[in-house]
Amino acid sequence: MNTAKRRFHRLVRTQRISRPREAVFAYFADASNLEAITPPFLRFRVLTPTPVEMRTGVRIDYALSLFGIPLRWRSRITAWEPGVRFVDEQEVGPYSVWRHTHEFVSEGHSTTVRDIVDYSLPFGPVGSLAHVLFVERALGRIFDFRRDAIRRSLDSAVASPLLESKDPGEFGPETGGG
């Protein structure tokens, strides 16, 4: 596949949670929590039997509905550094490329969680138009829901503000919303 013409996008979200890094990482490392932090409009379900033993190479299958279209998604854990970060990459799903990096940094008694999603849509110019018309906004809604759900689950005692990062790096403009 010719990647020279592929348009990459980046979404970056950062959130501070008033819990120790080990507890926060453990929450994110539990695949059964994915349904709770995914908006209901996606009708998201983890198909892989839980508990999933997270490590490099593990594949996780999901079912979801994107813009009313039922889809299957398979991701593979391509990097696993317990307590520090992990990366999941789409193997089967709606994107040409989907690489989601989860980073965890201790800050006193709190943890900063940083999500970096590098993605590309299929279908050339049609995919670019879909990004502008639907995808960018939908991803913003998904990650807004995720932020709020994580806050309710892990940080209900202290509501910390969402910190936006403007670090598009080599992939092009950030998709952030907020």
Written as one string, the DSSP assignment of 99-144 is EEEEEEEEETTEEEEEEEEEEE-SSHHHHHHHIIIIIHHHHHHHHH
pLDDT in tens, 40-70: 999 999 999 999 999 999 999 999 998 789 9
| Cβ-based neighbour number of residue 54 at 10 Å | 17
Which DSSP helix (H) or strand (E) runs through 150?
helix 136-154
Rounded Cα–Cα distance for residues 69 and 80 (Å): 31
Sketch out the chain's domains with CATH numbers.
Answer: 8-168 (3.30.530.20)
pLDDT in tens, 119-132: 999 988 888 888 88
pTM for the full predicted model: 0.83
pLDDT at 123: 85
Beta strands (DSSP E) in 19-178 are 45-46, 59-66, 69-81, 85-92, 97-107, 110-120, 162-163
Instruction: Give me the residues of the chain with pLDDT under 70, please.
Output: 1-5, 155-178
pLDDT at 57: 98
Sheet of 59-66: strands edge to edge? 45-46, 59-66, 69-81, 85-92, 97-107, 110-120, 8-17, 162-163
